[in-house]
Amino acid sequence: MARSQKELHPKFSRYQKWIVNHPNYLGIPFNEDKSGNPVWLAPAKSTVGAARIDWLDRQRESLSIPKDDGWRAKTALAIHPTKTKPCQVCGNEMSLEYVYPNANLVKSMIKHGFELELNMLQDFREIITLAKQERRKSFFIALGKVFKSDLSVDIPLDELFTNILETGAEKKLLGPGAMSNFPDRLDGFHSYNRCCRGSEDKGRLKANLNRYGQDRRAFENWSDGNWKAADRLMKVFNKYGLSADHIGPISLGFRHDPHFQPMTISEQATKNNRMTYSDVQKLLEHEKFEPVVSWHTKYAWDNLKHQIMDDEDAKEASSILRKNMHFILSVLGYIYANVTYGEDFLSTTILDKQLEYAYADYDFEGFDPETGNYDRMIVTRKQRKEYSNNAARYKRKAFESLENYADKDNRWYTDFLPHYRHELSEIKTLIENKSYKNAFFKVNELFETHAISFCKLPRR
Ligand SMILES: [Zn+2]
């Protein structure tokens, strides 16, 4: 079966009809099929293809675009009414401009010390905006090195964008949602978007786990759960070409456990650490059987979960939970950086039980790629050098994440903590007296107090 006759996503069919009837494409040559519908494809060597090139050249002239190497791509983009199009396969809407990170950008960022996942289906401007909001210094240091320019977190966004988008397109660090393809496709762009192009998929799937096969979000967010088993299960998903998705995102304070829902790549691209109303329903259902949220976020989640009535609420709650996570990590960062025995306290009361998971391996029997469920998890406990390295790395990375928070440039740290001066000094005294149990109790109390005043939905 020819590609063009493959099942089209309904959004893409609607898009084709809309483009053919749009005034910007008035007079563009196309064949008609037996039922009189316009034929989207026309190879350059065909009569229709050649006629399309002539048509585009007239558009180029009227737009005064110079007739250089890339004139077809430039003109097709210039006349495109929205500069975005849905994917033929999955319907995912993507920009036609050069705004998505290419694999070599992701790789260079890692090489220059930014170890986090960059979503190759997320607009790089969004990624920069988030990194700026969260004041992620390591992001801007790596970015500056990759773009060979003095970039800091304090440069205004629009200035960053102009700098980066132009160089990014030039150096092929950024790419479009769909490559240009005129006259073969009537709109001048490949029908498959980046989300469903084979080569891009693979990079994307691997990106979930870093080069050690660990999901860094778990140690970065000090999350509960059997992370080792969860990491292993993610690999199983990836083997089936699926992306493993936590219903409750780790970065919002949920656990990293071996329970995922399978997602297509485009679904994950649009999800972006945001919960929907249906995700919240699923979490409430799952919570009847086992915990879904990490100890530190329990209070915030308990406060919010029954107030969420629709998608809008779920989105708002996600944003509150993300901010609450910044608060939590700032408190832990304070303990780590300012309290004698702080590191020992955090290790023995919180991290040590997480490190236990390193000393086992996990296999999954009867995995069902449709549902993401499995019949049985097989656990083999082992003492191997590799596993103690694993544990050591987990611990080191967890503390590195706190270091980033305990920074006078971190506005979460400087804005939130002064409200709780009294509570923090109590915690400090308890830890310094090695009264870890009581200190941990006080930390929990502080997270609860903060959740009560901060984690509620503004009633609409
Ligand atoms: Zn797609």
Centre of ligand 1 to C-alpha 306, Å, is 35
Centre of ligand 1 to C-alpha 34, Å, is 28
Backbone angles phi, psi at 135, to 5 degrees: 50, 50
Centre of ligand 1 to C-alpha 429, Å, is 55
Where does the pLDDT of residue 213 fall: very low under 50, low under 70, confident under 90, or very high at 90 and above? low
Whole-number average pLDDT of the chain: 87
Position 269 scores a pLDDT of 54
Centre of ligand 1 to C-alpha 194, Å, is 7
Specify the amino acid at residue 440: F
Helix (H, G, I), strand (E, B) or coil at 345: helix
Question: Is 21's pLDDT higher than 90?
Answer: yes
Q: At what angle do helices 311-338 and 421-432 cross, to 10 degrees?
A: 50
Q: Which of 452, 199, 411 is nearest to 304 (CA)?
A: 452
Position 3 scores a pLDDT of 41
Question: Is 460's pLDDT higher than 80?
Answer: no
Position 28 scores a pLDDT of 96
Q: What is the mean pLDDT of residues 331-342?
A: 95
Per cent of the chain over pLDDT 90 is: 53
d(CA 392, CA 287): 31
Q: What is the mean pLDDT of residues 326-346?
A: 95
pTM for the model: 0.62
Centre of ligand 1 to C-alpha 230, Å, is 26
| pLDDT, tens digit, 9 for 90 and up, residues 362-396 | 999 998 877 888 999 999 887 788 888 888 989 99
For residues 252 and 290, is the Cβ–Cβ distance under 8 A? Answer: no
Determine what percent of the chain falls in helix, strand and coil, rounding each to the nearest 5: 55, 10, 35
Where does the pLDDT of residue 426 fall: very low under 50, low under 70, confident under 90, or very high at 90 and above? very high
Centre of ligand 1 to C-alpha 178, Å, is 10
Calculate ∠ Cα 269-275-280, nearest 5°: 140
Q: What is the mean pLDDT of residues 412-433?
A: 90
> Comparing 98-102, 105-109, 319-323, which segment has the lowest mean pLDDT?
105-109
Where does the pLDDT of residue 149 fall: very low under 50, low under 70, confident under 90, or very high at 90 and above? confident
Which residues touch 264 (CB under 8 Å, ≥6 apart)? 90, 242, 243
Question: Is 241's pLDDT higher than 90?
Answer: no
Where does the pLDDT of residue 265 fall: very low under 50, low under 70, confident under 90, or very high at 90 and above? low
Which residues touch 76 (CB under 8 Å, ≥6 apart)? 56, 180, 182, 187, 188, 189
